[in-house]
Structure 1
């Protein structure tokens, strides 16, 4: 496994990112910040993960929000 010292998301699972953002903002708050249907139309962690794993542009938006939120 390669070291990635400049990648702040290294070792953070997508499921962890979605769960923390959901706990912090809720589905409505996520839908307000990122306009994608997986957060606004019948949202769940499972369906969001499925969509985000297949949609790189949406995943990038979620990862940016996670970094911007600055969880410790």
Structure 2
């Protein structure tokens, strides 16, 4: 695997990002922030992963929200 020091997502799996976002926001708020059906109707990690792996625009939004949540957490320290 290539070393990518400038990439903040390097080494972070999609499942880790999703579990972090659910822990921080919960499914309800996550569905409000990123309006996709897998977050708003009977959400689960597995169904969301299936959708996100097939849908690049949704994955980009999840990655963006993940990075924002890390920045927000850093500000609060």
TM-score above 0.5: yes
Query: TM-score normalized by structure 2?
Result: 0.89
Task: Report the counterpart of residue 7 of structure 1 in structure 2.
Answer: 7
C-alpha distance in structure 2 between counterparts of 1:23 and 1:46, whole Å: 15
Gapped runs of 5+ residues in structure 1?
Answer: none
Matches of 1:23 and 1:47, distance apart in 2: 17
- CA displacement 1:23-58 (0-9 Å, x = unmatched): 111110101100111100110000000000000000
1:37 maps to: 37
Q: For structure 2, list consecutive stretches of 5 or more residues without a partner in the other structure.
A: none
The structure number with the bigger radius of gyration is 2
Name the one with the larger helix percent. Answer: 2
Figure out how many residues of one structure are paired with residues of the other and give that number: 72
The 2-side partners of 1:11 and 1:47 are apart by 22
Task: Tell me the TM-score normalised to structure 1 length.
Answer: 0.95
Residue pairs, 1:1-72, within 5 angstroms:
1-70=1-70
